[in-house]
Structure 1
């Protein structure tokens, strides 16, 4: 078996057990015990390396966050495996200004809904896909479809690549979402748009928006499913095949977060807020009072079915190049091995 001196990791600014395990220092310590250095994809100065946050192109790498990029990468032929899933529901809504007169989802009929778009983007336009899925879900609750509204595409040339220290971010870690939509709303070019998560709650609060339709905690999983629900833990197949024990160690380490978060809810929310770059009150508002109880790493049949449903949506709308077998993408062996260790 080839030796391994370093691994790459990345996570999205979202509630994930990987993020918490990283902030607690557990990930570094776990790999240090095997004399392996953990390197951050998002903090790299090399744009090709940073792009792997979306493409999963690097060997010996692991990722947890939004599911659209890993679905897209797998659809394009990148050999990765899902070794765990976290289902943490979050605020999802269509919002409008009070002056629009729109108060209910049914009143969206015939109105203009903004959709962010990055024309010419070489990687998947996950923000456009996220917004469209949210819009489709919201409209379906009132027996409407996208044909009943006008989709207004808001083009942006800003790259998706995450660049730490970018002067344009004014000292913050990243560019927050919904800027293009907010400007279009202020100009009167659109009547409403989709938001989600803690950033969506903060923005809706800031502009005194009307929440026209809210469905992040809807009982039907097919309504809730989007880029952030559920969030997979993925590894490249080479890492898994060549260093199965290290990947099992990783799953076991991340799996410890669930019990820690339940015992330390305030600290868990503080770390989630730090990852996203918002106040802790925004996390409680966006993810609910039991967010600390929804950080379990598992591979339940309903989670896998959720992926399959969302993959079909992405395929139907042309966001991924080819179909693939979601069940074959799942590899439960590391989670099962970690569970056996815990039981022993």
Structure 2
């Protein structure tokens, strides 16, 4: 086993127990107790380091957030493992402007639906994949396919990289989504587009949009699965193999959040809102009033089946370079060890 001075972590601006554990200071304290410093990938000034938020290339790193980048990284050969999954459903919808004549999902037939695209991006275009999955789900509910609509690709040259302090963000931590789609909708280039989460709900509210189809809480997991549903906790294999006890401690720390959130629901919502950069009312509206009860770290069969289904969607649409065994990607040992530790 090699000595370890520091580990890298990153999380998406989303409802995750890792984010809450970080804001509570639990993650730093857990590693500092063993003499290991925790370094943030998102806050690094090194672009190569920041790219690991999507590529998972850094050794001794862990991540929780959207599932498309880790699926893509694993498909490309990066040796990682999923050690826990959180399923927190969220608002997902196709929206249009009032007066467009689009009031329900079946009205989308023959219409133009905007899809964001980054044609020059070296990493996976997760925003395009997310939008396409939402569009396909909405159409499937009406017995339609993507061939029944016109997909209008909205190209952008802005990189996906998370850059703190970027002057173009006007003092905010990051660029909020759906800007290209909103401009295209206002300019009459498209008739509708996909939004999700608290940011999507706030945007729909702001423009008085018609919610044409909403399916984020649909009973069929294959309909509602997308980049944010579910969100895996992943680690690189070297970290897991060489420092299993540290990974188990990490999993135990993140898993504790669920019980804490149940006892502190208002604080949990405040932490989630802070992470995303929206109001607390937007979190409750987008994720449900009991969002604090959906922050468990598990590895159940339904989650894994949903992951496998989404992997096949991404393969079909050309987002993954190669197929791989999702079930072989999962390592139950740290969560099982953390559960035994908690029980003792």
Smaller-chain TM-score bracket: over 0.9
In structure 2, the partner of 1:217 is: 217
Q: Is 1:185 the equivalent of 2:153? A: no
Q: For residues 66-102 of structure 1, what are the alpha-carbon distances to aligned partners after superposition, in whole Å with 9 as ceiling and x for unaligned? A: 0000000000000000000000000000000002110
Q: List structure 1 segments (4+ residues) > 6 angstroms apart after TM superposition.
A: none
Q: Distance in 1 between matches of 2:73 and 2:290?
A: 32
Matching residue of 2:101 = 101
Pair 1:241-2:241 in alignment:
yes
**Displacement after TM superposition at 1:197 (Å):** 0.0
CA distance in 2, matches of 1:47, 1:154: 25
- Residue equivalent to 1:175: 175
Q: Secondary structure at the match of 2:165?
A: coil
Query: What's 2:327 paired with?
Result: 327
The residue that corresponds to 1:254 in the other structure is 254
What does 1:4-83 align with in structure 2 at a 5 Å threshold? 4-83=4-83
> Is 1:160 matched with 2:160?
yes
Distance 1:34 1:342 in 2: 19
Equivalent residue number for residue 312 of structure 1: 312
Q: What SS does structure 2 have at the residue aligned with 1:99?
A: coil
**Aligned-partner Cα distance in 2 for 1:99–1:203:** 18
2:232 paired residue number: 232
Tell me, what secondary structure is at the counterpart of 1:213? Answer: strand
Q: Deviations over 1:202-238 (max 9, x none)?
A: 0000000000000000000000000000000000000
Cα separation, 2, equivalents of 1:46 and 1:209: 39
Q: 5 Å matches for 1:119-158?
A: 119-158=119-158
String of CA shifts for 1:47-81, please: whole Å, max 9, x gaps: 00000000000000000000000000000000000
Q: Which residue in 2 is equivalent to 1:113?
A: 113
Q: Deviations over 1:240-287 (max 9, x none)?
A: 000000000000000000000011000000000000000000000000
TM-score (norm 1): 1.00
1:343 CA displacement: 1.0
1:180 to partner: Cα distance: 0.1
Structure 2 gaps, min length 5: none
Deviations 1:99-138 (A, max 9, x none): 2110000000000000000002100000000000000000
Aligned to 2:99, the other structure's residue is in SS state helix
Cα separation, 1, equivalents of 2:66 and 2:273: 17
Per the alignment, residue 342 of structure 2 pairs with 342
Describe the SS at the equivalent of 2:246. helix
> What is the DSSP-based 3-state SS (H/G/I as helix, E as strand, rest coil) of the residue aligned with 2:123?
coil
The Cα RMSD (Å) is: 0.3
Equivalent residue, structure 1, for 2:198 = 198
